[in-house]
């Protein structure tokens, strides 16, 4: 009796598994064709915004209040020290100082990836930059998390930028 029941159970399991596999294949195919059309639509939309979008957008500067940041070749140690404090309170949860990604990208080399203006606009005007800037959007695609606006003052943003320069080896 027990053996009989066991065999029955095994057969049912097999049928179930086959069923799951078959429906899985159907679902995958559906998804693929769905994604393909979505992909085509998306790229169409992107092209449209690219063509008709704001032609005055400057991807080197980003979008925000900072148009020209004065940066001396030498490190401002006082600013970098304040910047490190802001970093440990507001940024360290998501950003490492190495090139390793945590929630957001690691900060090693960030000052050579972007201009001072871009970084300070991004850190003070994060939402708008994420919706407009191609580099920010590319990061969002990798990180899958939208960086929340950190409510930095202008001075905080400048201090953190100086701390980033220190982290990138400026003395
Ligand atoms: C909750 C997590 C989180 C916090 C907190 C956070 N960030 Fe981010 N940051 C991100 C993510 C995620 C990205 C990548 C873009 C995206 O997906 O929104 C990013 C991207 C960046 C970039 C661009 C990095 C690059 O390599 O190009 C800078 C600069 C930056 N953040 C600065 C800051 C500063 C300054 C703070 C603190 C005041 C901070 N972030 C706090 C998640 C965070």
Q: Does the pLDDT value for residue 28 go beyond 70?
A: no
Residues at CB less than 6 angstroms from ligand 1: 86, 90-91, 93-95, 103-105, 110, 113-114, 119, 122-123, 130, 136, 139-140, 143, 145-148, 150, 152, 160
Lowest mean pLDDT among 11-25, 93-107, 134-148: 11-25
Q: Does the pLDDT value for residue 102 go beyond 80?
A: yes
Supply the residue whose CA is at minimum distance from atom 27 of ligand 1: 110
Q: Does the pLDDT value for residue 128 go beyond 60?
A: yes
Give the whole-angstrom CA distance, residue 7 versus residue 143: 48
Question: Which of the listed residues 134, 147, 154 should we mutate to test ligand 1's pocket, taking the one with most ligand atoms within 8 A of CB?
Answer: 147
Residue at 151 is within a domain = yes
Residue at 92 is within a domain = yes
- Residue 154: count of CB within 10 angstroms of its CB: 11
Of the candidates 122, 3, 150, the residue with the CA atom closest to the CA atom of residue 63: 122
List the CATH number of the domain containing 133: 1.10.760.10
pTM for the whole structure: 0.75
How much is the pLDDT for 60?
96
Centre of ligand 1 from the C-alpha of residue 140, in Å = 10
Give the whole-angstrom CA distance, residue 13 versus residue 158: 63
Give the whole-angstrom CA distance, residue 75 versus residue 165: 7
Q: Does the pLDDT value for residue 97 go beyond 50?
A: yes
Supply the residue whose CA is at minimum distance from atom 3 of ligand 1: 94
> Which domain covers residue 123, as residue numbers?
62-171
In the chain, % of residues over pLDDT 70: 68
Give the whole-angstrom CA distance, residue 137 versus residue 148: 14
How much is the pLDDT for 56?
82
Supply the residue whose CA is at minimum distance from atom 34 of ligand 1: 91
Work out how many domains the chain is built from and give that number: 1
Beta bridge partners of 101: 95
Is 17 or 124 the better-scoring residue by pLDDT?
124
Give the whole-angstrom CA distance, residue 11 versus residue 40: 44
Give the whole-angstrom CA distance, residue 153 versus residue 123: 10
Lowest mean pLDDT among 44-48, 83-87, 150-154, 167-171: 44-48
- Banded pLDDT at 81 (limits 50, 70, 90): very high
How much is the pLDDT for 55?
72
What angle in degrees, to the nearest 10, is found between the helix axes of 77-86 and 154-167? 100
Q: Give the nearest ligand 1 atom to 142 CA.
A: 17
Residue at 114 is within a domain = yes
Residue at 146 is within a domain = yes
Is 7 or 35 the better-scoring residue by pLDDT?
7
Residue at 18 is within a domain = no
């Amino acid at each position: 009796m027990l053996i009989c029941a066991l065999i029955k159970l095994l057969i049912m399991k097999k049928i179930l598994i086959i069923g799951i596999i078959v429906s899985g294949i159907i679902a995958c195919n559906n998804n693929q064709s769905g994604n393909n059309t979505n992909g085509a639509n998306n790229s169409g939309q992107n092209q449209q915004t690219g063509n008709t979008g704001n032609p005055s957008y400057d991807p080197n500067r980003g979008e925000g209040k900072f148009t020209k940041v004065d940066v001396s070749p030498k490190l401002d140690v006082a600013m970098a020290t304040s910047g490190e404090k802001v970093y440990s309170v507001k940024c360290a949860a998501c950003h490492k100082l190495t090139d390793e990604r945590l929630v957001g990208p690691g900060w090693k080399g960030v000052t050579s990836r972007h201009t001072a203006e871009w970084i300070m606009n991004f850190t003070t005007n994060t939402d708008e930059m994420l919706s407009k800037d191609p580099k920010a959007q590319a990061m969002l695609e990798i990180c899958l998390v939208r960086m929340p606006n950190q409510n930095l003052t202008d001075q905080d943003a400048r201090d953190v930028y100086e701390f980033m320069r220190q982290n990138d080896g400026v003395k």
